[in-house]
Amino acid sequence: MVKEFKIPDATIERVALYLRPLEGLMERNIRVVSSEKLADMCNVNPAQVRKDLSFFGEFGVRGVGYEVNDLLREIKRILASDREWRLGIVGLDDMGMALVQHKDFQQRGYRFIAAFDSDSRKIGKSLPNGLVIQPLSMIKQAAKELRIEIGVITTDAVEAQRVADLFFEAGIMAVLNFSPVHLRKPECCLVENVDFTLNLDHLAYELNRIG
């Protein structure tokens, strides 16, 4: 496929944010949306929406808005979310269980195809989606056979680096990390951290200001 020029990370993050409202509009058969409306749905300003979308080509009709269907298709194509991605997860406590059952993941094409845990009591058990929990020693083989593309880590901080290293050694280039630790990684690999306490910190800061 033709490689796109590099779009700024902040733009990519905001554009991903536009997907869900656009899907909502599609479901309600609304065909055109203004930058003002879309901005309002995403809590950003309209000028920002127009600037972000300008990276993706000419969709807007001045004074009218954007064709929802076209815009959605193009955003999905650019974000590569128009295809299925194959996920492996390590750590099947509550957080892991919540993730493998998360409807959004499936709807967006993120499919868990392998599950691992270091707890021997969990190994061999079946998840609601039919996956059987495997030991960590199976990561390398499973990664190859099942072509796992993204590794998800929900272990505690102590175990997370070891799991990340196993993923990287198995040729998995991207990791979504829910554990509260900064992961070392090879230059070529990608790590995204999820940390809910940052969201709480933000709320606390704002509450403190207005309080």
Contact residues for a copy of itself, defined by CB under 8 A: 3-4, 6, 9, 12-13, 16-17, 19-21, 24, 41-42, 78-81, 85, 93-95, 97-99, 101-105, 108, 110, 149-150, 173-174, 176, 180, 182, 188, 190, 192, 194-210
CA separation for the pair 166, 156 (Å, rounded): 15
**Closer CB to a copy of itself, residue 61 or residue 125?**
125
Least separation in angstroms between CB 59 and a copy of itself? 19
Q: At what angle do helices 68-79 and 9-27 cross, to 10 degrees?
A: 140
CA separation for the pair 125, 122 (Å, rounded): 6
**Closer CB to a copy of itself, residue 4 or residue 137?**
4
Least separation in angstroms between CB 193 and a copy of itself? 8
Least separation in angstroms between CB 28 and a copy of itself? 13
Structure tokens at 78: 């650019």
Least separation in angstroms between CB 140 and a copy of itself? 19
**Closer CB to a copy of itself, residue 70 or residue 93?**
93
Helix, strand, coil shares, percent, the chain, to 5: 45, 15, 35
**Closer CB to a copy of itself, residue 19 or residue 136?**
19
Least separation in angstroms between CB 62 and a copy of itself? 26
CA separation for the pair 34, 18 (Å, rounded): 12
With b for 16 or more beta-carbon neighbours within 10 A and e for fewer, the 133-154 pattern comes to bbebebbeebbeeeebbbbbbb
**Closer CB to a copy of itself, residue 169 or residue 195?**
195
Smallest CA-to-CA distance from 100 within 64, 140, 130, 144 is with 130
